[in-house]
Amino acid sequence: MQAIEELKTELRINRELTEIVDALKVIAVTEFRELAEKRKQRYTVFLQAFAGFFRAIDFSSVQHPFAQDSAGKLVLIMLSSDERFMGGLNKRVVDTALTYPGADHAELAVVGIQGGDYLRSLKRQFTSFTDITSKKPYEAALQLRQFILETGLGGQAGRLVLVYPKPISFLVQTVEALPILPCTELLFLEQRQQRRREVGHEAASEVLCDSSLTDLIEYLVGTWIAEKLLEVLEDCRQAELSAKAVRLEESYQTLLDTRRKLTHQYHRTHHEQLDKGMRETFSAQIKRKAES
């Protein structure tokens, strides 16, 4: 049986740890909600304005690696997190990327030390970005965009896919695979051709372009990639916060269970010591009476 002083110490440590874990959980939940509220309308407004370029200009006839489907080399970029409590989600991101069609012969790139460590344990070669963090999404988006544009324009990749964690709800995270190159999602070739047939060729031909369509594609695609990366990195950050909050809640409940057990053990030990003291006192009184 543990001494009562040891139990008191354990209870004090448990109480302090519980308070710290609860505070960290509240911080994660608050930051998650603030981020979700801040980004709610921003990207919708941007894409609505950005789509205006493609209603006015037809890029469907331009020969450019960003604008046409290609069977070239596949590049998979995995976004992992170096936050605590993210080991399981990081593993899911890497495993999802490695099961993507063509992943066996793809070039791999990973953001984050933990994802890189897991890939290294699987004996896979990869390019590592250890200085990129979802806590600084704008700077991270610019660095990743530079890599993507250089990879695409340099001909090293015919296809490029981002694999990243995305929050479905506060309690549930999934893993998404988002094709970035070629930008068929951006250019909407079939939809724009249909709009062109509906509004007539004359309406589109009235647009005067000072730059070449190739230069316009590269500029617009670069802008779109930066926006997509910001969106993805904020998804990653929200997934980090939700996963952290869930794990902290599990730890909080575990600490509460431990506290209940320690409290019960403390009271039982305390009562046993009181009972023992009373019995010893009673025995000593009987002994003194017998001696007298």
Higher-pLDDT residue of 2, 157: 157
- Scan for tokens 């950050």, then name that residue: 237
Helices (H), the chain: 4-39, 42-56, 87-98, 113-121, 137-153, 184-187, 189-199, 201-205, 213-291
Same domain, 65 and 83: yes
Q: Which helix (H) or strand (E) holds 79?
A: strand 74-79
CATH of the domain at 127: 3.40.1380.10
> Looking at the predicted structure, is the pLDDT value of residue 76 above 90?
yes
- Residue 200 backbone zone (phi > 0: left; psi -120 to 50: alpha; other: beta): left
Q: How many domains does the chain have?
A: 2
Read off the amino acid at residue 103.
A
> What pLDDT score does 190 carry?
43
83 near 93, Cβ under 8 Å? no
CB 218 within 8 A of CB 153: yes
HSE toward the beta carbon, residue 245, CA cutoff 13 A: 21
User: Are 87 and 205 contained in the same domain?
Assistant: yes
Least confident of 46-60, 104-118, 211-225: 46-60
Q: Inform me whether the pLDDT recorded for 146 exceeds 90.
A: no
Would you say 79 and 111 are in contact if contact means Cβ atoms under 8 Å apart? yes
Q: By percentage, how much of the chain surpasses pLDDT 90?
A: 12
Pick 203 or 180 by higher pLDDT. 180
Q: Do 284 and 144 reside in the same domain of the chain?
A: no
Please state, as a whole number, how many other Cβ atoms lie within 10 Å of the Cβ of residue 161.
22
Closest Cα partner for 27 from 232, 263, 259, 245?
A: 245
Whether residue 209 is found in the same domain as residue 194: yes
In this structure, the answer to whether residues 52 and 192 fall within a common structural domain is yes
pLDDT category, 51, cuts 50, 70, 90? Answer: low
211, 227, 245 - which closes a domain: 245
Looking at residue 136, what is its pLDDT?
A: 74
Which domain range does residue 108 map to? 31-245
Radius of gyration for the chain, computed over Cα atoms and rounded to the nearest angstrom = 30
Do 55 and 45 lie in one domain? The reply is yes
More confident residue, 75 or 134: 75
Same domain, 172 and 210: yes
Structure tokens that stand for 235 in this block: 């998804």
Q: How far apart are CA 192 and CA 194, in angstroms?
A: 5
Averaged pLDDT for residues 95-114? 90
pLDDT, one tens digit per residue, over 203-232 is: 445 656 666 767 777 777 788 888 888 888
| Same domain as 265, residue 236 | no
Give SS3 for 129: strand
**DSSP letter assigned to residue 210:** S
pLDDT given for residue 163 in this prediction: 94
Q: Are residues 44 and 12 in the same domain?
A: no
pLDDT of 21 over the 70 cut: yes
Judgement on whether residues 251 and 238 belong to the same structural domain of the protein: no
- Contact between residue 157 and residue 74 where contact means Cβ atoms under 8 Å apart: yes
Whether 127 and 225 share a structural domain: yes
3-state SS assignment for residue 108: strand
Are residues 187 and 82 part of one domain? Answer: yes
If you search the block for the tokens 């593993």, which residue do you land on? 91
For residues 22-44, give the mean pLDDT.
76
Token pair belonging to 274: 């009181």
